[in-house]
Amino acid sequence: MWLSSSKTHGWSAATVGLALSGLWACGSAPPASLTDARPAEAELVPAIVDSPDSEDRRGTPRLVVLGDSLTAGLGLDPDEAFPARLQERLDSNGYELRVVDAGVSGDTTAGATRRLEWALDGDVRLLIVALGGNDGLRGLPVEQMKGNLKAIITTAEERGVQVLLAGMEAPPNYGPAYADDFRNVFVDLAREHEVPLVPFLLEGVAGEADLNQSDGIHPNAQGAERVAAHLWVTVEPMVRQVVEETGP
């Protein structure tokens, strides 16, 4: 069933523009990507997120977060990124799922499709797709992004993996038409595939100086915690359903 953990149109155009102006516009144009760093080969291998006191979790069902530097936690310690915060919530609620942080800094939806096989390796039960930021920053064609995201969702569905789609907003520099088309990609795919949608991954964080690092783009530790809390509203019911349907 298609659903949303927040109001799909809860952010007015003016509010989004204001937040993204703080998010992207430190000068006249947005950066080329969410990081200037090129991912090394080692970064293409998804990282297992375990709490410090956890035992060996080989064979434990997995929750994968497929994303870019926002997921990878650029500028943060590994245990401060939002996937690690999700692992903490899973552990504290007794859910036997192992979070895999499949975030690669600078990645686009096209790059993510090329490493999807790696990301879905093992007993993956749930996939959070948190992509699109770099596509928007580069002004890449909206239909191209939609096709890539559709391919990711379809591949996961064919493997029986539950999908949560996390949306992103395009920077205002490319105009309102591009921003509207960009936003609608996530809404349309969620409806088409009947998957849960979190309309804006950075809701409540974008544009908030005290929740972001000095670049104004990447959440700090407090901001990453806010992202995890925002996602958890939708993630927990999905986890509960996965556990009930498939067992531990």
Q: Which residues are catalytic, by number?
A: 69, 215, 218
Q: Crossing angle for the helix pair 82-92 and 221-246, nearest 10 degrees? A: 50
The burial class, CB within 10 Å (0-12 / 13-18 / 19+), for 93 is exposed
The number of angstroms, rounded, from the C-alpha of 233 to the middle of its chain's C-alpha atoms is 14
The burial class, CB within 10 Å (0-12 / 13-18 / 19+), for 74 is buried
> For the stretch 5-14, what's the b/e string if a residue is b when 16 or more beta carbons lie within 10 angstroms of its beta carbon?
bbebeebeee
